[in-house]
Structure formats: C-alpha cells, structure tokens
Chains A and B, each alone.
Chain A
C-alpha cells in the first residue's frame, strides 16, 4: 500500500485502498474545520436574511426571481460538480504519489472555477444592463450579496487550488503538508456545497 507520508507520521498514513479498514480520521486538520464551519455558519445567516426579506415582501420576490436564468443556474451547478470530482481525483492521485496526474486534475478543477467566475460576471453584466442593480429592490440586493459572497469564496478556493497544485508536484508530502492539501480540498467542496443550497434558493424556488 503506497503512502505519501514520511517521518514520524508515516505510521498514520491514510489508506488509499477502499478495501482496507476505515479508520476514524479528520480530513485536513481540526483548525481548518473551525474555519470551514465558520464560513458555513456565515452562509446560514445569509440564507436566513434572504428569506426574512422574502417573508416581508413575497410578491416582490415572486416578480423579481423569474428574471434570473434557471438554466444558467443549472450550468453553474454542473461546473462545480465536475470541479469537485476533479478535486477528489486529485487527492487520490496525491495519495498514490501520481505526481504526473495529480496537478493536472487540480488544474482542471481550477479551470472549472474560472469558468464559474467568468459566467457569473456575464450574468451580472446582463442584469446590470437591464437596470437590475444592487439598489433596485430587496431581491436584487440579496441576489448580489449572496452570489457575490459565494463568488468571493470561489476566488479564495482558487487560491487554495493553486497551493494544492504546487504541492501535488512534490514527490513526497509530510503529514502536515498533506493535511493542508486535504484542508484545501474540503474548502473547495464547501464552496460546491454552499452552491447546492444557493441554486434552488435563488434560481428555482419562486
């Protein structure tokens, strides 16, 4: 069984083979999860604010929400799902010390992230051209706040992916390095996970 760890952490190497016994372990490190869970709580609050404003004026939301493109929302979701799959593959490649493939899988994930941001900019430009700005009404304010905050997290995630690409090229990672890479992967999956809620919330639930 291949291991990516060296030194004192070698004995706690993560099995790369599904058939081996699963052990309880924290993906990444505990500190990373405090950060990720904190971000998830922030989005929880944003979801609530969006809906509290919907409760205050449901007809405003019912008339404004159909103006967002549901099919584009679907495209965003599929792009992020592909990126997450590439990140899963990249982590597995790193575990198996496949330094030829791992970086390219993570580059693929980053390309998906860039595509997401590019499409988001096109979408915002379209709405701005239609005079649907952040100050138009409460729906559009929260539309830009939610999608903008999520896009910011995608950009941060791209930074983590860049770090992971560099690490993936190394022939060996110690336990600490791999924990950071795993943490970056979990952050990227969080970005995808948040979008799973945002997609129906903004685009589908009229």
Chain B
C-alpha cells in the first residue's frame, strides 16, 4: 500500500486527519468559550479540508479550468455561506 501512495497523498491524508482532530477540539471548545470564534475556525479548517480532498484525492489540480473553477466556487460558497449564515443566527 505504501508503495502506491506518493509522499504528497500521504502528507495530504495526514494533514486531513490532523485538521480533523483540531476541528473536534475546537468544537468541544476546549479552552474556547466563544461559539463565533470556534465557528470561524471550523469553517476555515473545513475549507482547507474540502480543497485538499478535491485537489489531491479527486485529482482536480490537473483538471480543465471550467471544472476547477466550479469546484473552487462550490468550496468558497459552501464554507463561506455556512459561516455567514451561522454568524447571522
């Protein structure tokens, strides 16, 4: 298995796991009392994660411009929109 995965994919996966652990920590508010600060952190981390999955696992980093633009737009709207609507609540 390790021979099939290059360093980039391995690093990306490790980063995804690490970011997930940080997100969980933010969510249980270990040391953070402000839900809005936690929400900003969670959505920024979420944005990083969805892009990592799209670019490196879905292999969109080599995709045609139209597909890359649509994917990036979805990431921005999803994470930014979720954060904005959460902050309005």
Cα separation A189 to B53 with both chains bound (whole Å): 7
Task: Flag the segment in A77-85, A144-152, A154-162, A165-173 that touches B.
Answer: A77-85
CB of B35, distance to nearest CB on chain A (Å): 6
Chain B binding surface, main DSSP class: helix
Q: Which A36-53 residues have C-beta < 8 A from chain B?
A: 37, 40-41, 43-44, 47-48, 51-52
Report yes or no: A47 in contact with B82, Cβ–Cβ below 8 A. yes
CB-CB under 8 A from A201, the residues of chain B are 82
CB of B47, distance to nearest CB on chain A (Å): 9
Chain A binding surface, main DSSP class: helix
Report yes or no: A51 in contact with B86, Cβ–Cβ below 8 A. yes
A-B contacts at CB below 8 angstroms, number: 134
Cα separation A170 to B61 with both chains bound (whole Å): 28
Known interface pairs A51-B89, A84-B57; A96-B46 also in contact (CB < 8 Å) = no
Q: Which A71-97 residues have C-beta < 8 A from chain B?
A: 71, 73-74, 77-78, 81, 84-85, 87-89, 92-93, 96
> Chain B interface: which size bin?
35 or more
Cα separation A77 to B42 with both chains bound (whole Å): 14
Report yes or no: B53 in contact with A205, Cβ–Cβ below 8 A. no
CB-CB under 8 A from A200, the residues of chain B are 23, 27, 39, 42-43, 46
CB-CB under 8 A from B27, the residues of chain A are 70, 73, 200, 203-206
CB of B21, distance to nearest CB on chain A (Å): 8
Report yes or no: A81 in contact with B16, Cβ–Cβ below 8 A. yes
Task: Check A61 for interface membership: any CB of B closer than 8 A.
Answer: yes
A-B pairs, top 8 by smallest CB distance, nearest first, are A204-B27, A51-B85, A200-B42, A92-B4, A27-B59, A54-B89, A55-B89, A74-B24
